[in-house]
């Protein structure tokens, strides 16, 4: 119960309020206002760092023809507003040179603004794979929740969350390739357990040779088969040490021994042999 409360009863209510406004997005609603675009500041907690310029232009043209059907979400602040959710719509509206934008006004703390931005982007799939992974990680850390609890909060499967979080283990080069869309998240997920050096080789191969995910899977298997496992490590022969001097001494004193793989073991027939052997350490 404590963890559920940690997610914030207020946050749940805010999400419900926003969803209700979205449900009524085409019909007039008392919750919707037209706000001057110039009075809106972007959300400082926006997890999304990359916006597809082509997609923004397409959305902008749609807004010019049909208007904005889905409102943005803002928090009132003195004589202006802070954008909580809907930055893509906000940017496209500015490109369309509209003067005002349809908005839902909510009351939210800084922490709730961060959460709303994260969850809204996650649920609407507006983040690239790396931004999504970072958002998952942030929500888990901020609220000290499990992946299972996060799954219930954002309505994503546990396995999807786990696989996305694993992308944070990728090399910096692989992560940048995902952000730049030169490789897909599918490519990345099959190489995540490889050393960074091998990941970087694969990234160059995917980009240069236009490899499919299936082809990358085959290459990953080849990389893994070349890595030494515990068994193969044991099978690697160690250099044989020269024990000839030690053997001469032991033979001279008639001490029974056996040498194998640079290891030596002794056997004794009586206490006299033990006493003789002990003299080496006195």
- Supply the pLDDT for residue 30: 44
Q: Where residue 203 falls among pLDDT bands split at 50, 70, 90? A: very high
- Helix 110-123 and helix 147-154, axial crossing angle in degrees, nearest 10: 80
pLDDT in tens, 28-64: 344 678 888 888 887 766 656 666 677 778 888 888 8
HEC per residue, 18-50: HHHHHHCCCCCCCCEEEEEHHHEECCCCCCCCC
Give the span between the Cα atoms of 157 and 152, in whole angstroms: 8
Q: Which of 6-20, 137-151, 165-179 has the lowest mean pLDDT?
A: 6-20
Mean per-residue pLDDT for 206-219? Answer: 89
Q: Considering the chain, what percentage of its residues have pLDDT values greater than 70?
A: 73
Q: pLDDT over 90 for what percent of the chain?
A: 8
Q: Is residue 76's pLDDT more than 70?
A: yes
How many CA within 13 A on the CB side of residue 158? 5
- Per the annotation, the verdict on 77 as an active-site residue is no
Q: Which residues does 265 contact at the CB level (< 8 Å), separation at least 6?
A: 257, 258
Kindly list the domain boundaries of the chain, sorted by start residue. 2-161, 170-231, 244-281
Hey, what CATH topology would domain 2-161 get? Answer: 3.90.1530
CATH 3.40.50.300 fits 170-231, yes or no: no
Out of 115-119, 169-173, 189-193, least confident range:
115-119
**Residue range 252-281: mean pLDDT, rounded:** 79
* pLDDT band at residue 9 under the 50/70/90 scheme: very low
Mean residue pLDDT across the chain: 76
Decide which of 202 and 273 is more confident. 202
Q: Which backbone phi and psi does 41 adopt, to 5 degrees?
A: -105, 150
Query: Of 25, 76, 77, 87, which residue is the catalytic one?
Result: 87
pLDDT of residue 2: 41
Average pLDDT value for residue range 222-232: 64
């Amino acid at each position: 119960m404590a963890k559920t409360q940690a997610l914030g009863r207020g946050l749940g209510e805010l999400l419900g309020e926003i969803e209700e406004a979205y449900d009524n997005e085409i019909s007039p609603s008392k919750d919707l206002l037209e706000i001057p675009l110039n009075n809106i500041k972007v959300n400082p907690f926006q997890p999304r760092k990359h916006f597809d310029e082509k997609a923004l232009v397409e959305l902008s043209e749609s807004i010019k023809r049909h208007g904005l059907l889905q409102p943005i979400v803002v928090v009132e602040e003195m004589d202006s507003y802070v954008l909580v959710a809907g930055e893509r719509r906000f940017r496209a509206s500015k490109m369309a040179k509209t003067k005002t934008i349809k908005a839902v006004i909510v009351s939210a703390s800084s922490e709730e603004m961060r959460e709303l931005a994260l969850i809204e982007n996650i649920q609407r799939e507006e983040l690239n794979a790396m931004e999504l992974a970072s958002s998952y990680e942030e929500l888990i850390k901020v609220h000290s929740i499990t992946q299972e609890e996060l799954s219930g909060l954002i309505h994503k499967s546990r396995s999807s969350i786990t696989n996305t979080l694993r992308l944070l283990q990728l090399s910096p080069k692989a992560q940048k390739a995902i952000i730049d869309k030169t490789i897909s998240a599918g490519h990345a997920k099959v190489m995540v357990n490889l050393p960074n050096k091998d990941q970087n080789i694969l990234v160059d191969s995917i980009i240069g040779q236009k490899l499919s995910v299936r082809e990358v899977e085959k290459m990953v298997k080849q990389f893994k088969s070349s890595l030494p496992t515990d068994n193969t490590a044991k099978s690697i022969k160690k250099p044989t040490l020269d024990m000839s001097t030690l053997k001469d001494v032991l033979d001279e004193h008639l001490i029974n021994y056996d040498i194998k793989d640079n290891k030596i073991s002794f056997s004794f027939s009586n206490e006299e042999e033990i006493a003789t052997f002990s003299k080496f350490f006195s």
